[in-house]
Amino acid sequence: MMRELFKIQNYRLFLINMGLLGMAVSLTAPFLVIFMTETHGMSTSAYGVFMATAAVGSFLMNTVIGRKSDNLAFDRKYLIISALVMMIIAYGSYLVIGNVWLLALSYIIFAALGAPAMPQLYASARESINAYRSNMAVMANTVLRSMFSFGFLFGPLIGSVLIGIYGFNGLFTGTVIMFILVLVLSILIQPAQKRVAPQSAANIRDHEEKKAPNILKTPALLLPFVAFTMLHVGQWMYLLNMPLYVTNFLGEQERGVGILSSLCAGLEVPFMIFMGYVAGKVSSKSLLIIGAFLGSLFFLSIGIFNDFTAMVIGQLPLAIFLAVLLGLGISYFQDLLPDFPGYASTLFANAMIIGQLLGNLLGGIASDVVGLEYSFFIAGAFVFTAFILFFFTQSEIRKGEV
């Protein structure tokens, strides 16, 4: 099957781009909270508000672009290119703006404008996949997402090296260079030859041509959307507080943050590929339930053990949780809306963005009010709630049953 994937138009480019994009994001992600709190003096709560505001902007931009992107009169790659330019400016702001408030404003604006880059890249890939063989979508998307995690394997390690040698300026310069590489490669994407979709009338697919369904009026979309959002709330609460928990509470060096991030990403890759193989044999509902349960156990264990070694061991269930969440999530929504790959990808991206917004807000507040070590209990509660919600989703939702 892997050989078949490389026959998909542009698939090699998509793989490389996803790997580089993962590296670009992960170079900075684990260390940004340290930079903003220690270099610019932000409190954890203020940083949470900062990231939440950026998430609101990203959500709004994704929503507007997502609903329009499937009816474009021009190639989708130009959306991707424009968004990547915005991301370059967003991370370049850390190099040229010294005032913390102007820096925050610049990042929020340009990161929001750059937010459609990833969902539109997924949508472009889905168009190429559908043009070749649509029944390969789950496996193809899972391998793409595993490449994003593969980038996370090296990003935090490279980021810690850059900080050690060149400081934070070296970190942000490396991030900008990675985004530039993705931009250059995106220019080479060729438009997919679109197939004429077969006429079918299966519940959720019953909508007017080229008019995406309203999520608030479509329970089969709304329930998993809420559940995915809660999973991301737990994940982002962890991502926000983990670096400070490791360095300030456990007393580890900054490289400990890089070790955890890279170890998890390295474990995610084989698990994601495995999920792609078993997705056709085991229902997405079952995999999501297992993943959510393991994720909730990990987050709860952090506050119970308060030990770095336990966190290292816990990267195994965390990796399974993230492999299911990030590896199957995009296909989950795309299979619900096969005629709207852009809108479906945006739903998945917006669940992550809303989760990021709430996770950063609640994570910052929780660490200030109840303490870093107890904030992970709240993260675990959100993930466990999602675990329960998935029992009420449709078993064969990928096939359009509602």
What pLDDT score was predicted for residue 134? 63
Say if CB 260 and CB 312 are below 8 A apart: yes
Q: How far apart are CA 271 and CA 273, in angstroms?
A: 5
Among candidates 5, 24, 399, which has minimal Cα distance to 175? 24
Say if CB 169 and CB 95 are below 8 A apart: yes
Q: How many CB atoms lie within 10 A of CB 211?
A: 12
What pLDDT score was predicted for residue 347? 85
Among candidates 381, 351, 63, which has minimal Cα distance to 225? 351
> DSSP for 313-368?
HHHHHHHHHHHHHHHHHHHHHHHH-TT-HHHHHHHHHHHHHHHHHHHHHHHHHHHH
CA-CA distances (angstroms) from residue 135 to 54, 126, 146, 394? 36, 11, 19, 20
What pLDDT score was predicted for residue 2? 67
What pLDDT score was predicted for residue 193? 64
> What are residue 18's phi and psi, to 5 degrees?
-65, -40
Say if CB 275 and CB 142 are below 8 A apart: yes
Query: Interior CA angle at 341 toward 337 and 346, to 5°?
Result: 95
> DSSP for 52-109?
HHHHHHHHHHHHHHHHHGGG-SS-THHHHHHHHHHHHHHHHHHHH--SHHHHHHHHHH
Q: How far apart are CA 152 and CA 26, in angstroms?
A: 5
Report the Cα 50 to chain-centroid distance in Å. Answer: 18
Residues 98, 100, 105, 108, CA torsion sign: positive
Helix or strand run (H / E) with residue 148? helix 137-186
| CATH, range 215-392 | 1.20.1250.20
DSSP single-letter state for residue 140:
H
> DSSP for 385-400?
HHHHHGGGS-TTGGGT
Residue with tokens 């209990």: 377
**Mean pLDDT, 10 residues at a time, the chain of 402 residues:** 79 92 88 88 84 86 82 82 96 94 95 91 84 74 80 82 92 96 93 54 46 77 92 94 92 86 84 80 83 96 94 95 86 74 80 86 90 94 96 58 41
What pLDDT score was predicted for residue 269? 81
CA-CA distances (angstroms) from residue 289 to 93, 136, 392? 40, 23, 11
The answer to whether 7-188 and 215-392 have equal CATH topology is: yes
Say if CB 119 and CB 349 are below 8 A apart: yes
Summarize pLDDT for 48-106 with one digit per residue, the tens.
Answer: 788 888 888 988 898 888 877 777 777 888 999 999 999 999 999 999 998 999 999 99
Among candidates 350, 330, 346, which has minimal Cα distance to 65? 346
- Local structure of 284: helix, strand or coil: helix
Tell me the domain boundaries of the chain: 7-188, 215-392
Helix or strand run (H / E) with residue 246? none
Q: How many CB atoms lie within 10 A of CB 206?
A: 11
- The third-level CATH classification (topology) of the domain covering 7-188 is Growth Hormone; Chain: A; (1.20.1250)
